[in-house]
Each structure stands twice: as structure tokens, then as C-alpha cells.
Chain A
Amino acid sequence: MSEAIVTEAGEPARGDHDHGDHGTLTGISNNKLLMWVFLGSECLLFGGLISAYLINRSRFHTGPAPGDIFDIPFTSVSSFVLLMSSLTMVLALSALQRGDIRNNRIWLLTTALLGSLFIGGQVYEFTSFLREGLGYTTSPFSSAFFTLTGFHGIHVSVGIVMLMSLAISSYRGTLTQKNSETVEIVGLYWHFVDVVWIFIFTVIYLVPSPTS
């Protein structure tokens, strides 16, 4: 591989010291690379959970079957909400990259709000399933369904906490144009969670499920 050390002109801190704390060899930020490496790993996590769901989706024992219980119109709305939160997330980043701190803050909070709406929808979905007789222990299908969507929900919740933390540091004046990479990294996480939901929405909800 052919490589020169890329020292980014924009980042004076790196690579210009005689005893050689070289900046990053690839010119890529360590943090961003770490997040991408992590997301690569997360693919296998969600892949495992989704597979565990798929092989169990027709095993609903005596409980409700997925085809009977899913409320597609409702889930479509909450999926749409999460999808749009990706737009607001990227707008938040774009604002901060322009140095527009006010809009950045607004979009961050909007993203967190949309995420919370999604979580609220999930809580509603879970409770209505419970009312209809689908508990966590009802069947292999129910365990797998709640585990998969629950893990996704926890990921979204963690994302909301990160977004709120960003918003707080923005109010404290510490989130400025030069740390836009932090927003970008949180954004990567957020989009990833969204992308996982795109997959789940299609494969778990829209592809016809077994009925009893």
C-alpha cells in the first residue's frame, strides 16, 4: 500500500513535532474510525437477533401469531417518525458545520424528540400486545420479538441520551463548529439505528408473517 503521512492542514495539532507523535497515518480521525468499526460489529449483533426472531416467528405456541397481532398502520407511522429523525440529525450536523449553533441545537432537540416519539410508540405497541395476550414468556415468537425490538429500543434510547447531552453542552457553549465531528459521530450511530429499523420494519413487519 502506498501511503504518505497525511497531515491535515486544518488540524495543526497533529504530526508536526520533531519527536514524532505522528497524527493518524491514514488521515482519518481515530474517533470516527472507531465508530465505524463499532457499527460494523453491531451488524453482527442485530443480525443474530433478527435471525433468532426469524426462526422463531412461526413458533407462537398457543399465543397470538405475528400475522394476527401486528398493527401495520401504527408501526408505519412510528417507522416514518424514526426515518425523518435521520433527516433532522443530518440537518443538525450540517448546521453546526456551517457554524450555525442555534439551528444545530434546534435540530438536535427535534431529533431527540422524534426519537422519543418512536420510543413512545414502541411502549404503546408493547402494552397493547400485552393486553392482547402476548407477554414476553408467551411463546418463542414473543420472546424473540420483544428481545429484538427491545434491543433496538435500547439503542434508540441511548442515542436520545447522547443527543440530549450534546444539546446540553451546546447550551453551555461548548459545542461549536470545531467539534462538529462529535455531532457527526453521534449522527452515525443514530443513522445506523435508523437503518436497522428500516430492515426490521420490512423483514419483521411488512413481509407477511404467519397467522394462526
Chain B
Amino acid sequence: MSEPVAELTSGGGAALPLGVYSRPKGGGGWRDWVTTVDHKKIGILYGGAALFFFGIGGFEALLIRLQLATPNGTVVGADLYNQLYTMHGVTMVFLVIMPLAAAFANYLLPLQIGARDVAFPRLNAMSFWLFLAGGLFLNFSWLVGDAPDGGWFAYAPNTGVTFSPGHGMDFYAIGLQIAGIASLVSAMNLIVTVLNMRAPGMTLFKMPVFTWMILVVQFLLLFAIPVITVALFLLLFDRNFGANFFNPEMGADPLLWQHLFWIFGHPEVYVLILPSFGIVSEVIPTFSRKPLFGYEFMVFSGIAIGFMGWGVWAHHMFVSGIGPISIGAFTLSTMFIAVPTGVKILNWLATMWGGKIRLTASMLFATGVVSMFTIGGLSGVTHAVSPADTQQTDTYYIVAHFHYVIFGGALLGFFSGFYFWWPKVFGHRLGETLGKWNFWLMIVGFNMTFGPMHILGLNGMSRRIDTYSPGFGFEFWNLFATVGAFVIAFGVLCFAMNVILSARRARGLPPEPPDPWDARSLEWFTPNPTPVHNFDEIVEVSSLDEFWHRKWTTDENGRVVRRATAAEVCQTGDADDVHLPSPSYWPVVVAAGLPLVGFGLLYNLWICVPGTILVLIGVYAWVFEPPDDPDGPFGGGHGDEGHGDEGHGETEESASDESAPQEEAASVE
């Protein structure tokens, strides 16, 4: 990433005194991708980057399992083991599941609401580059041999300089801070998009459930990210400037970290799972050939989960000494939150009930989500019971629980989405045979790996220990779990092969005809793959599942009969008079500046200087950038210039947002 950026800034920065900038025209190849503001390309970038980090996180997981396969394992030392499980957790949560959700949200959300792009395309691009910058910054710690080692939730005071003297936790704090800004900007952008950019007739309660769940997630991020921002700043100041927030020697209470982290962390759990719920709610009706059972219940239970997710955080802290009243209150609230989740499970089952089910790979993964998440949810209820949790906490039982939720719930959902929307994105399907291998290997391997962890945990095996002695009865199930982990790896390999082989098979063939699955929502109005302008003309929406209702109707006997073929309903994608926002150099420039500031904080404050300059140039050039179409109605005196702000990460978006009328202008003819 660093070379193109350097090149861009030298070119663009030189033009600064004149106050006139041209916007990139594209020109093919990598330039298109670096400067793109197209939500579809950004979605693909998110997906690609997330899968790259998925490879890293998966490799870390395999090393962990190899180390634990036998007693007194010697694959890695204790220190490296600490770094491995920390980075595995951080990577999978922040650099895989969240960006995968962002990938689907970016690509699909504008399409599902019938829009041409998000409300702020350049901010959208910046979100991606910031996420990538944060992810690379975090993983850069491996290269200096000093990865974070305090666990993904980084409890103080273990993460202070006394116990984590290296730079690892600084990489954690700064890397997550950068990725956090990305999520926050993206959340604000998508909220405005959903509220303001829907197609005519698309009321909130005609939006697909996926869009709804993404909206709920963005609200959670909007309000949760600032909390972890505070926590990470406090940690950073403690470590680097000698502050005393978590220093018990000075009388501070390190529990503050746990509260702040979990006030963020529990909504974050729903940030991880709800997008997958959304995907499943699209896939199951399509392959059951029935409308989603209880759409309003689905939506409201999603909203309810979003609200209640704010009132349960201390169930992560039952053994931290928060007192009986807190424990009682949080036990109750945690049990209540199981109710809306249960509603969702029941609704999916009721949707499948009596439907004409087609067990495609996508549908298999969706049913995998329903069943595996149910197991994870139930084990979750067992540690809502605080006395039981006292036994379970910090054992492998917890590890089993959250993998059933995050792997079995979130990740399988994204795989379901891959198989479902692949033709929409790339114009060809993924192979079904390999897809089924992919599913079965993953689900079997998954249960082999994480199922036994329930037993291990209840038998007393602590999480995060780097090895164990023989004779505790841990040997067999650990070896079993390690075998399972490699079965998962083969499943993922099947997916990778499927991607390559299906692309090769599709080469030279015409793209997939429209509507491969007899689907229901607006994105399928467009041909495959989606043309750059999305819709030839914006669809007028009159009902939920608009696309399906244009294809099917009921006759007088109440039977479903076809009213039009998909080819008749779908658009052709050949409109050529649509003006789209121009690409821009500056999102990537701004994003490149922040890691430099981060390195500066770690190694030498002078490195902050070029970083800050880069951010400042990026922000000001962004603001002064002309709209691409000087003859457009908003063109000419683009009057909103004139305020950027300093590149201190936190409030950056407050400045960049002001530049946005240009973008609207750009997307309006």
C-alpha cells in the first residue's frame, strides 16, 4: 500500500497552493481500485481484505491447536502462545467478522434500498482504507516480533507497561483505534444512507431484513465505538504518558477498563452476529419459497436485541467482584435478551416449515447457522446464570460458547451469503459440489473442534493456558479438537478452490442470467454482475419483497402463479446516461497518514509529523476537490469548501463530512 500512496501524495500535494485539483479519471488496473468510491468495489475490497485476514487468523488458530494437541506441547513457547491467542481473537473479531459484515453491507445495502451509492461515497472509501490501515498496523506487530499478548479484551492492569513491557499492547490500542474510526465513519454513512437514500415507496417496513439488521448494527457501532475509543485512549495514555487510570498502586481501580470494554464489547457481540442473521433471513425464504415468517417480529426482535444489548455488559464480569446487586440485575437482563433471539430462531424454523426447500450450499450454510447458533445461544443462557458462570468463566466452556456463536452463527452466515450473492457480485455461481464439501467439512470440523471444549471446560481446563500436564483427562479431547481444526481448514480450502475453479470455469461464458435463485429483494432487479450504475432506473417500491411480487401473483384459488419471468422483470443494465461520483485520491491518503502517526507514538514522535501532514493534506484536498461534473446543477461554485480539521483521529469525520454535498452533486445528473 505504501508505494502508490507516496506517489499519489507527491503528485497531489504539489497542486495544493493553487487550490485546484482534478479528480482521477480511473484508467484501469490498480488505480481504479485505489481511488474508487463505488460502494460495490469497496464492498469487494472489504471482502478480499477480510478473507486475507481470515487466512492469518486461521493460521494462528491452527498453531494454537497444534500446541494444545498433546500435553506439554512444545510447538510454541508461552510468550508466543500469548501473542497467538490474542491476535487470533483480535483478528477474527475486528479484522474478519466486522469487515465481512461491512463487505456485505457495502455491496448490498444500497442495492437493497434501490440507491445508486451510499450517501457519502468518499467517506465510504476512507472507511475501507482506514480499516485496512488499522489491520495492517496491528499485524505489523508480528514483523517486529512484538504482537499484543494481553488477550483480545486486554484486561488492565495486565496490559500496563509493568506486565506487558513490549510494544504489543500499543499496537493493539492504536490499531483498534484506527479500525474503530473506520467503523464509526462507516456507521454514520450507512445510517444516513438508509434514512435518506431509499427508493420511492420503500418505507422502513418494506426494507429487507438484511438491511434492517445492518441498520441496527450501525446504530450499535455508532454508540459503542466511542466507548472503546475512550478505553483505548486511556490505555494508551497509561502506557505511554504515565497516566494512572488503571494503576492500582496509585489507588486507581482497573475494573474501569472492564466496564468500558464490555459496555462496548457486548453491543459488539451483536454487531458480529446480526449481519449474519440478516443474511440468513434473506436466504431461508428464498430457498424455502415462502415469505419470511413474521417479518415485523424479525425486525422488532432485531431492534430489541440492539436495545437490550446495552444493558447486559456486566455478565462478562460476574467474577470480578462487582457485588451481588449488580450480578443479580445483570443476570436478569441477560436472560431477557435470550427472548428476542429465540423469536428469530423460531421464525426461521417457521419459514422453512412446509416450504419447498432447496438444499443449495447457501441454504445448507443458513441451516447451519440456525442449528449451531441455537447451541451457542443455549450455552450462553447457562452462563447467564451467575452461579453456574462462576464455574464456567475463564474455562474452555466459554471458548466453546463464543465459537458456537461467532463461528457457528456469524461466520457460517457469511459463507451462506457468499454462495447466495456470488453471481450478483461476480456474474457466476460458485460450484455446488465443492460448496457442499465446503459446508460439510466445515460443520463437522467445527463441531469436532468446539463441541469437546464444553467438556474440557466443565472438567476444569482453563482458557489461555499454553499447555497442560498429562493426567487431568484433557488429552483425548484436545487431540480430537486439533483434528477437527484441520478438518475446518480443509473446508476453507474447498472454498478457496471453489472460488478459483468457478472463476476459471466461467471464463469466456456469458454471465449468469438474472435471478439465479428466484429471489425476493431489489438487488436482483439488476443484471449479473451488477453494472457500475446499479439500476438503469430506480425501482418504485410498493411492497416488501418487491422483486418477488413482480414475478409471482396468486390466482383466484390462492395458488401462486407466475406473472412474469425474471428476464422480463430485470433491468438490462445498459443505461449509459447515469452520472456517478468521480473517484478520489484523498480517502487513501488520509487513511495512510494515521498509521504513521501511530508508529510515531510508538517509536519516535518525529514520525508523527509526516503522518499528520499527510492527513492534513488529505482532508484539505478532499474538501477542495471539485465535483466531477462542472456543468451539473451543483457544479461551479462548490461552496462548501473551507474547513478541514487537524488530523487527530477522533473528530476527523466531523470535518470530512462537510465536503459531502459535492458527492451528492456528483451523483445527481
Residues in chain A within 8 A of chain B (CB atoms)? 1-3, 5, 12-14, 17-26, 28-31, 33-35, 37-38, 40-42, 44-45, 48-49, 52, 55-56, 59, 61, 136-137, 139-140, 142-144, 147, 151, 154-155, 157-158, 161-163, 165-166, 168-170, 174-176, 178-179, 181-182, 185-186, 189
Contacts and interface: CB of A to CB of B under 8 A. Distances in A.
B253 interface: yes
A41 B250 CA distance: 32
Contacts of B655: 158, 162
A21 B192 contact: no
Given A136-B241, A139-B250, A28 B196 contact: yes
B633 A13 contact: yes
A34 B657 contact: yes
7 contacts: A14-B664, A30-B192, A34-B120, A55-B253, A147-B243, A174-B637, A182-B658
Chain B's interface size range is 35 or more
Nearest to A143: B243
Contact of A137 (B197, B242, B536, B668): B242
A18 B540 CA distance: 12
A20 B535 CA distance: 9
A40 B538 CA distance: 31
- Which A-B residue pairs are the 3 nearest by beta carbons? A169-B642, A20-B538, A48-B230
B517 interface: no
Nearest to B199: A22
B653 interface: yes
Contacts of A189: 654
B592 to A, nearest CB: 21
Given A19-B577, A182-B658, A162 B645 contact: yes
A17 B668 CA distance: 8
B633 A59 contact: no
Nearest to B247: A140
Contacts of B661: 29-31, 181
B342 interface: no
Contacts of A169: 641-643
Interface of B: 116, 119-120, 184, 187-189, 191-192, 195-200, 202-205, 222-227, 229-231, 233-234, 237-238, 241-245, 247, 250-253, 256, 260, 263, 535-538, 575, 577-579, 632-634, 637, 639-646, 648, 650-651, 653-655, 657-658, 660-661, 664-665, 667-669
A44 B633 CA distance: 38
Contact of B651 (A18, A44, A155): A155
A38 B657 contact: yes
A19 B250 contact: no
A4 B238 CA distance: 53
Nearest to B246: A140
Contact of A25 (B195, B632, B664): B195
A5 B642 contact: no
Contacts of B200: 5, 20, 22, 25
A184 B654 CA distance: 13
Contacts of B651: 154-155, 158
Contact of A182 (B197, B198, B579, B640): B640
A40 B654 CA distance: 12
Contacts of B642: 165-166, 168-170, 174-175, 182
Contacts of B242: 136-137
B244 A25 contact: no
B256 A157 contact: no
B667 A45 contact: no
Nearest to B669: A17
A14 B336 CA distance: 45
A140 B644 contact: no
B226 A13 contact: no
A139 B223 CA distance: 29
Nearest to B242: A137
Given A20-B535, A61-B244, A139-B250, 9 more contacts: A1-B204, A3-B203, A33-B195, A34-B119, A37-B192, A52-B234, A140-B245, A140-B252, A186-B658
